[in-house]
């Protein structure tokens, strides 16, 4: 699993270049840089800021999750990688435990997706997925995971989907 991890590193290097050119394009990231009072940004700062943007507590946590070095377990935090503020207006099903989320996913008559969010789980509709990734090219990978991005953690398909989300969300970062 290298795609998503490498994408996060690329975004961090771009942020570092933007900082030194005084051209950070995201107001949210500008606020974090100001809040942390970063005067001379280094790559370690950029890695931390990008990791925080995707809901990870630290670059170390992001690295551990995105490298696939962990074995998935219920309640494991995968950050908020699969969540975007653009999705706030949508109605989703939220669960504190994986089994309840999986039961809901299996009971729904139409296509839905099970996503991890920190220590919780969401069951969402295609509209949600279209806001966090380019859905059409991702559909075969989602099918491989049975539309379950929590249990699919660690697989090649999960890495490709996480990479797709990182790239898509970076294009629409605000």
Model pLDDT for residues 32-66, shown as the tens digit of each residue: 999 988 889 999 999 999 999 999 999 999 999 99
C-alpha distances in Å from residue 32, one per residue of 38, 39, 58, 85, 117: 9, 12, 14, 16, 21
* Rounded-to-integer distance, Cα 45 and Cα 41, Å: 6
Please give the average per-residue pLDDT across 121-142, as a whole number.
94
User: What is the per-residue pLDDT for 117?
Assistant: 93
Count of C-beta atoms within a 10 Å radius of residue 79: 20
- Report the alpha-carbon distance of residue 9 to residue 67 in Å, rounded: 12
pLDDT in tens, 58-94: 999 999 999 987 777 777 888 899 998 889 899 899 9
For residue 25, name the pLDDT band (cuts at 50, 70, 90).
confident
**Over 70: is that where the pLDDT of 114 sits?**
yes
What are the domain boundaries of the chain?
Answer: 3-171
Residue 172 has a pLDDT of 75
The pLDDT score that the predictor gives to residue 174 is 57
pTM for this one? 0.91
């Amino acid at each position: 699993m290298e795609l998503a991890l490498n994408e996060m590193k690329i975004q961090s290097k771009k942020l570092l270049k933007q900082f030194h050119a005084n051209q950070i394009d995201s107001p949210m990231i500008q606020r974090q840089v100001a809040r942390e009072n970063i005067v001379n940004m280094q790559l370690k700062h950029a890695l931390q800021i990008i990791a925080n943007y995707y809901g990870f507590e630290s670059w170390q946590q992001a690295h551990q999750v995105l490298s696939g070095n962990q074995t998935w377990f219920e309640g494991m935090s995968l950050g908020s990688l699969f969540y975007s503020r653009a999705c706030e207006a949508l109605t989703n099903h939220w669960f504190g435990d994986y089994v309840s989320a999986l039961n809901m996913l299996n009971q729904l008559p139409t296509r839905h997706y099970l996503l991890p969010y920190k220590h919780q789980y969401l069951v969402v509709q295609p509209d949600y997925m279209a806001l966090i990734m380019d859905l059409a090219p991702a559909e075969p990978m989602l099918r491989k995971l049975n539309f379950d991005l929590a249990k699919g953690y660690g697989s090649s398909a999960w890495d490709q989907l996480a990479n797709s989300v990182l790239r898509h969300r970076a294009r629409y970062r605000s």
